[in-house]
Amino acid sequence: MHLYIVTGSTRGLGAALVQQLAAPGHRVIGIARHAAAPWALDLADPLPAAERLQAWLGAHGGWQSATLINNAALLTEPGPLADSGLGELSAALRVGLEAPALLCRAFLAGTAGVPVRRILNISSGLGRRAMAGSAAYCAVKAGLDHLSRALALEAPDVGIVSLAPGVIDTDMQLQLRGADPARFPEQARFQGLKDAGQLQTAEATAAAVLRHLARPDFGQQVIADVREA
């Protein structure tokens, strides 16, 4: 049996990943705050999720491979950081960076001895290029990139990649297009991507992400982009 753990599993890319991973011989655990998730947990309070994963992995074993996909993210309202609500900002940072770090810790400790282990962190081009009006999102994605670099040094036997998935037509894009241009200078650019038909579907992106995950050289390039060969 092959184990897959996917966060943010009920919407967008996460839901498409779970759907495409569902196959004989696969055990897929989806983590999300919505009640439809197999593990309904709010990653804005990430410690219980990490503790549950740690306990579950301790009670289940015998996997041929184990994969953690940290996909969940929370976008604050587009605009200057100084205008963000403190609670909203805290939740975005916890979901986007604290939760992946804690889940990686639980996963690495709980899967010792599994023959093939992989961690796929869903990053973003905005982790590599700053954008005004989205400071928290840029920060957590840059943090995911550097977390992945450090973990790859600590656990060279684990395939670890921080992957930018391209621009996907999800609720996040809708939020960016609907933002006030006076508070979010990039609004017109995101509207232009939609108008030009340059957004990928969640399903097509999930297929590309899973092709990258299946590559025999997965993990050799820690920081990657799904659009690159």
Backbone phi, then psi, for 68, in 5-degree steps? Answer: -110, 125
- Pure H helices in the chain: 12-21, 46-59, 86-93, 99-110, 135-154, 171-177, 187-195, 202-213
SS3 call for 2: strand
pLDDT digits (tens, 9 = 90+) for 185-210: 888 887 887 888 878 999 999 999 99
- pTM for the model stands at 0.94
Domain contains 26: yes
| Total domains in the fold of the chain | 1
State which residues form the domain around 113: 2-167+201-225
- Phi/psi region, residue 166 (left: phi>0; alpha: psi -120 to 50; beta: rest), is left
Domain contains 104: yes
pLDDT digits (tens, 9 = 90+) for 143-166: 999 999 999 999 999 999 999 999
Domain contains 173: no
Domain contains 188: no
Domain contains 191: no
User: Which pLDDT belongs to residue 185?
Assistant: 82
User: Which pLDDT belongs to residue 18?
Assistant: 98
Contact between 38 and 29 under an 8 Å Cβ cutoff? The reply is yes
Domain contains 180: no
Domain contains 49: yes
Domain contains 134: yes
Q: What CATH number should be reported for the domain holding residue 117? A: 3.40.50.720
